[in-house]
Amino acid sequence: MKRTIQKVAILGSGVMGSRIACHFANIGCEVLLLDIVPRELSEAEAAQGKSLSDKAVRNRIVNEALQSTLKSNPSPIYSKSFISRITTGNMEDDLAKIADMDWTIEVVIENLDIKKQVLANVEKYRKPGTLITSNTSSIPINKLIDGRSEDFQKHFCGSHFFNPPRYLRLLEIIPTEKTDPAIVDFLMEYGSRYLGKKTVLCKDTPAFIANRVGVFAIQALFHTIKDLDLNVETVDRLTGPVMGRPKSATFRTCDVVGLDTLTFVANIVRENCPNDERQDVFNIPDYVSKMVENKWLGSKTGQGFYKKVKGEGGKSEILVLDLNTMEYRPQQKQKFTTLEAARPVDDLVQRTKILYSGADKAGDFYRAIFHQVFAYVSLRVPEISDELYKIDDAMRAGFGWELGPFETWDAVGVMKALEGLKAAGQEPAEWIQEMLDNGIESFYTLDKGIRCYYDARSKSYQPIPGQENLVILSNIQDDKVVWKNAGTTIKDLG
């Protein structure tokens, strides 16, 4: 069956729902954006003499949410003219319209009972054969299909977008045991070709791939900086572009995401992964719990790890939270020889080697973080993914890492880092030593221009799928260089 997507329904107009709606409008789809009906009038509506039956009142939640999203920076929409592709409504008056939709995406609150009720209502109107997916980030996908028809179950899976969906490339596709494989193939291809995503096929495990690893990395850092007595602004200098990570680094990223969201995911993993060897890392540190208690959640509440204030002469100043006193103060700058040595180096692989080998406190920090993440991702194969390259793909596309964790491990040197993490008391998965014992010293290799990854099941290198119809310049080996100078390289593509 040839499937096209022209009309999409988004159920839930919160931050994610509205932005997903905008992204589908960006690619030319007609979008129906729905949300719940208000239960009481606002002060303005009451003053205007309106009633709960007025259409403007009934659509107030969805309309206000969309307008708020359209004002966000960076913009979720390519052109203001595309806004006309989005029609708003509510789930009581307009849900029947999903009968005309090619794809319906549930993006309501992270509550299993509410999601199941929404999906039950969807089934009353959904046309058989059309796609139905959930954007849940934490609820097991298989739990959402209880009581649904066979056709619904065949066409249902998880489709986890990352915020903001226009800019973050990751789209995790999570099938259930009953999802038709053809539907999975379609979503993987559609997400890549039309939505511009790096689609990653995930297992139905808590927090899937990117959040499981990404939140672990953040939580490990939360605990580590107290041991090393490092402050917030210093850690953001250490974990930003010099490390191949976004400018927002760690704590600014936490402020953007929101500490409530971050701790929610951490708690989900801790509660639902009793066999996780590093379950303790997902315990929320006291200073983070205090921030959540104080509603210092980040950008959404005006203060988190950073707080913008008016300084002398009316100039804006960004203060930082002192984790020892829990008070805001001006930012301080520490110097590290490791950073000074790494900054001039353009090549991230070489820069990573310098960071890992640093002889000062910055070097201690990098080794502590790398060791924990390396051991953790090795233990997540095959739990969250049979193929290690999917973990790297997810972290690059979802968290903006230039090198995924296994790629970073390769940069340091697998044997060197293994010796270091064992000396630090970290225990990796047994397949790492097995790989080295078999004479394989890296997770990735190039074979005749094809990038291959180490497959722990076959104990051999396997080609990464999806390269067949592409020319990937980074895969062209150095012996194919025809001519080069300081600014240009010409390679023979064959």
pLDDT-derived band of residue 2, with 50, 70 and 90 as boundaries?
A: confident
What pLDDT, on the 0 to 100 scale, is given for residue 469? Answer: 66
Per-residue pLDDT reduced to its tens digit, 255-279? 999 999 999 999 999 999 999 999 9
Contact 153, 179 (CB under 8 A): yes
What pLDDT, on the 0 to 100 scale, is given for residue 412? Answer: 98
- 188-213 core/surface letters (b: 16 or more CB in 10 A; e: else): bebbeeebebbbbbbebbbbbbbbbb
Copy the structure tokens of residue 447.
């074979």
CA–CA separation, 248 vs 339, rounded Å? 17
pLDDT-derived band of residue 310, with 50, 70 and 90 as boundaries?
A: confident
Helix (H, G, I), strand (E, B) or coil at 336: coil
Per-residue pLDDT reduced to its tens digit, 57-116? 999 999 999 999 999 989 999 999 999 999 999 999 999 999 999 999 999 999 999 999
CA–CA separation, 482 vs 466, rounded Å? 27
pLDDT-derived band of residue 312, with 50, 70 and 90 as boundaries?
A: confident
Copy the structure tokens of residue 3.
């499937």
Copy the structure tokens of residue 326.
């829990």
DSSP summary character for residue 329: E
Copy the structure tokens of residue 288.
């983070």
CATH architecture of 7-201: 3-Layer(aba) Sandwich (3.40)
Work out the number of other CB atoms within 10 angstroms of the CB of residue 139: 19
DSSP summary character for residue 471: -
pLDDT-derived band of residue 231, with 50, 70 and 90 as boundaries?
A: very high
Copy the structure tokens of residue 435.
């790989």
Per-residue pLDDT reduced to its tens digit, 142-176? 999 999 999 999 999 999 999 999 999 999 999 99
Taking 80 as the threshold, does the pLDDT of residue 129 lie above it?
A: yes
Please provide the average confidence, as pLDDT, over all residues in the chain: 95
pLDDT-derived band of residue 473, with 50, 70 and 90 as boundaries?
A: low
What are the boundaries of each domain within the chain?
A: 7-201, 210-399
Work out the number of other CB atoms within 10 angstroms of the CB of residue 466: 12
pLDDT-derived band of residue 350, with 50, 70 and 90 as boundaries?
A: very high
What is the dihedral angle through the alpha carbons of 473, 476, 478, 484, rounded to the nearest 10 degrees?
Answer: -40
pLDDT-derived band of residue 467, with 50, 70 and 90 as boundaries?
A: confident
What pLDDT, on the 0 to 100 scale, is given for residue 226? Answer: 87
CATH T-level topology, domain 210-399 = N-(1-d-carboxylethyl)-l-norvaline Dehydrogenase; domain 2 (1.10.1040)
Per-residue pLDDT reduced to its tens digit, 42-60? 999 999 999 999 999 999 9
- Closest by CA to 238, choosing from 342, 377, 392, is 342
pTM of the model: 0.93
Considering the chain, what percentage of its residues have pLDDT values greater than 90?
A: 90
